[in-house]
Chain A
Amino acid sequence: MSEQIPYIALMGNPNSGKTAIFNLLTGMNLKVSNYPGITVEMKRGIALISADKTIEIMDLPGTYSLTPQSLDETIVAQQTLRWMGGKNKPRAIISVVDAANLSRNLYLTSQLLDLEIPVIVALNMMDHIRRRKQDIDSKALQQLLGVTAVIPMSAREKWGIAKLRETIADVHQYTKAQSALQLQIPAEINIQLQPVAEYFTNQCGYSNDLALGQSLRVITQKSALDIYRDQNIVNGDKINKLHELRDQAANEIDKLGMDHHILEATLRYDLLDRVLAENKIIIREEVESVSQSEKADRILTHPWLGPILFITILYAIFQSIFTFASIPMYWIDASIGMVGDYFIRIMPSGILRELLVEGIISGVGAILIFLPQILILMFFLTLMEDSGYMARVSFMMDRIMNKIGLHGKSVMPLMSGYACAIPGIMATRTIDSWKERLVTILVLPLMSCSARLPIYTLMISAFIPKQQIMGIFSLQGITMVVMYFLGTGTAMLIAAIISRFLKEQGRSSFIMELPPYRIPLARSIIRQLYIRGKLFIINAGKIIMAISIVLWFLASFPKSGADGQPATIHQSYAGRIGHAIEPIIEPLGFDWKIGVGLITSFAAREVVVSTLALLYNVEGGGDDIIGITEALKNDINPLTGLSRYTPLVALSIMVFYVYAAQCMATFAIVRNETNSWKWPIYMIIYMTVLAYFGSLVVYQGGILLGYS
């Protein structure tokens, strides 16, 4: 972001409804395409604040404090540190506060007040408070905090948002927060803070208040000081000097009988709890009252009913992906056929028509067909996340995850891996243990992502019989579920193995809020589906179209063989490449066409399906689009006179793709997130070995058992 563009920062606790407010303010006007899921990096959007005025909104990850513990919190801490240095400050901060959790949310707000930036408090979830026939005196709260405005609202019921927009519209008039909240620092502690505070004033040019606040923070937590070096704000000898002063002060404070680790939080909460009570702002916080969520959890997180329910839900989702999607898939398939036929009719035959119909339409069309399945999967994942159920799954699974070297907080990233590994890997930033985060990242690509769906679906619908088992389960659906569970189970196993080789860095902990259950908002689900669908189509448009065009040339040329006869596809460049690697993959039951697919799909897994579609269409070369499912079923090996693809081959292909390391984007993001090429390379090696031998065992084992 350049220095000149004015913007507003949106900050708040996790589960405060921050993202819902961001969505309301910005509508669908996202600046960058974001992956669905929690905010783990900064999202930016353009908000329309009056008839003719817009302003950029920066959505920061949810955090309880400006003192960083996990990576996503570090992102927030680094950003605020830049602001303290006067760099590219926002015009104002919207501090989103969950009114039902006032004191804990205001803790963060009180830290924001020190930043010398105007603060607008969005007092969200007031619908909960009013339903309980309570209220919060927003005027009193505003005066107490010294903020620009306190706006009672409900992002859920969509009220108060207009007032928030109006307040933002006048943002240029606001001055920095003039907080009436003054921390009561005992004199003997204040003396200890002074050397550090002075250093900040001299080296960073902080005002006295800010310097005092920062000295309190870095004394409380060393990590708050580390980001000064990471951000190159203070470095070299100076940072060592600062560390020295900080350690000295921390020691002295401990000698006074105070624990320096809890200094800032203790002082702030003492103040907050006292002033909120004095001003009668606090709503009654009764730990005895039993909420609806707690009642629901008697079943949903029951020691053994809970896990059974979770597995059942997963099973139902994977099975339904297969059953629900069949009708819309049929429509899309028919439409693509019609488009192909249309161009065949209106265009003269020739290279251009071949490229368009056999290359682009058959290649891209073969992928578009899977959009309904991806949307169905996303729908269920969003439902689980938005309802608050995913947090419960983390809670139930923490014990077992911890046993195999993962973390309760690994559950959410792993589950988003069912959609796509990339947002999953980014979501691991909430895990504050380095080791557990790394293990989660390394096994995450084993979770069957939506790019595997086209392959599974194609193989299953072509080769697995439409049978019912015990009247209610379909054999095709079960095969789908088995593939998902195979990937997930292997991920757990690999995690257990890898974590034995990684050194532990102290004991990790699992401190997580369990937010109340909420009925997910239709508009938020639709938004997620829209974003995901758009990404999928853009991806199909870019990568797959490019590969399809290149592949079409490779498969169509040379047009004539060495003997002057028209060349068959086997003699084309693609055919030669495929035949060259055939000996390596023959033991897996794969032929040269799959071989070509393995190469093209290294960029992205789903490309294998469009590759096969394209190869059959070029081979057919006729005046018709060939359906890929039929083509696979009808492919006869001329040497044996038998079908080339059998259910066994289909299984072998599916198992290969459960494990195969085939997604360039994933490796790039792993490289980014781990800061080294070492981990993505390990990942490619172990996944390729798993894929080859997994597939080999299936195919050769199947033959030994008498299947063909």
Chain B
Amino acid sequence: MPLKPLNSLNPGDTAIIMEFEGNSRLHSRLVEMGVLAGVKVRLIKKTPFQGPLEVKIRSYHLSLRWYDASQILVS
């Protein structure tokens, strides 16, 4: 399965996190919250004008910015 950024998913899509790109400060926080390779994620909502996204991961809801989501590769 080819890798694609998290923000390219459609609402309702489920995928597995594979790897991170770029900004590492962000990644340390995400991994501390359990967002790491091999974990399942579902995109719930996108907001207009490339605003933040809402995803469900493990058993909680998380919001993150469009750019940040573009750094997370899923398949």
Contacts and interface: CB of A to CB of B under 8 A. Distances in A.
Interface string A137-180: 00000000000000000000000000000000000000000000
Interface in B1-20: 14, 20
Contacts of B58: 101, 103-104, 285, 287
Interface stretch (A454-462, A507-515, A537-545, A559-567): A507-515
A359 B51 CA distance: 55
B32 A265 contact: yes
Interface string B22-64: 0111111111111010001110110111111010111111111
- Name the prevailing secondary structure of the B interface residues: mixed
B65 to A, nearest CB: 5
A218 to B, nearest CB: 12
Contact of B57 (A287, A303, A395): A287
Size range of the chain A interface in the assembly: 35 or more
A558 to B, nearest CB: 65
A398 B47 CA distance: 10
A323 interface: no
A399 B49 contact: yes
Contact of B62 (A100, A507, A512): A512
Contacts of A516: 61
Contacts of B28: 67, 69, 220-221, 261-262, 265
A259 interface: yes
A288 B28 CA distance: 26
B34 A288 contact: no
Chain A CB within 10 Å — which of B61, B65, B67, B68 has the most?
B61
A395 B62 contact: no
B23 A262 contact: no
Interface string A387-404: 000000001101100100
Interface stretch (A236-244, A293-301, A414-422, A472-480): A293-301
Contacts of B64: 509-512
Given A265-B36, A269-B34, A408-B52, A511 B62 contact: yes
19 contacts: A69-B25, A69-B28, A69-B29, A101-B60, A103-B34, A104-B33, A107-B32, A261-B24, A261-B25, A262-B36, A288-B14, A297-B54, A395-B63, A506-B25, A510-B52, A511-B30, A511-B68, A512-B63, A516-B61
Nearest to A398: B52
B26 A509 contact: yes
Given A265-B32, A294-B61, A395-B63, A287 B56 contact: yes
A285 B56 CA distance: 10
Contacts of B49: 399
A333 to B, nearest CB: 46
Contacts of A269: 31, 34, 36
A278 interface: no
A64 interface: yes
Contact of A287 (B26, B41, B48, B54): B41
Given A287-B40, A513-B60, A399 B50 contact: yes
Size range of the chain B interface in the assembly: 35 or more
A303 to B, nearest CB: 5
Given A399-B51, A399-B52, A293 B31 contact: no
Contacts, number: 133
Contacts of B25: 69, 261, 506, 509
A662 interface: no
Given A69-B29, A266-B31, A509-B64, A396 B23 contact: no
A286 interface: yes
Contacts of B30: 511
Contacts of B63: 395, 398, 408, 510-514
A510 B59 contact: no
A512 B67 CA distance: 15
Interface of B: 14, 20, 23-34, 36, 40-42, 44-45, 47-52, 54, 56-65, 67-68
A185 B56 CA distance: 29
Contact of B59 (A221, A285, A301, A507): A285
Nearest to A104: B34
A221 B51 CA distance: 28
Given A283-B59, A395-B63, A511-B33, 16 more contacts: A69-B25, A69-B28, A69-B29, A101-B60, A221-B28, A259-B27, A261-B28, A399-B50, A399-B52, A408-B63, A509-B67, A510-B65, A511-B68, A512-B62, A513-B63, A514-B54
A601 interface: no
A631 B21 CA distance: 68
A265 B62 CA distance: 18
A23 interface: no
A262 B39 CA distance: 15
Contact of A395 (B24, B36, B50, B52): B52
Contacts of B68: 509-511
Contacts of B24: 259, 261-262
Complex A-B, nearest 6 residue pairs according to Cβ-Cβ distance, in ascending order: A399-B51, A265-B31, A514-B61, A261-B24, A65-B32, A287-B42
A168 B51 CA distance: 46
A516 B61 CA distance: 8
A396 B47 contact: yes
Given A395-B54, A408-B52, A510-B65, A286 B59 contact: yes
A75 B38 CA distance: 32
Contacts of A107: 32, 34
A336 B30 CA distance: 56
Contact of B60 (A104, A266, A301): A104
A124 B6 CA distance: 32
Contacts of B14: 287-288
A64 B33 contact: yes
Interface in A470-506: 506
A513 B57 CA distance: 10
A107 B57 CA distance: 15
Given A399-B50, A399-B52, A512-B63, A507 B23 contact: yes
A662 B23 CA distance: 42
B29 to A, nearest CB: 6
B48 A303 contact: yes
Contacts of A100: 59-60
Nearest to B38: A273
Contacts of B61: 293-294, 513-516
B9 to A, nearest CB: 12
A286 B41 CA distance: 9
A303 B47 contact: yes
A395 B46 CA distance: 11
A300 B68 CA distance: 24
A285 to B, nearest CB: 4
A399 B45 CA distance: 14
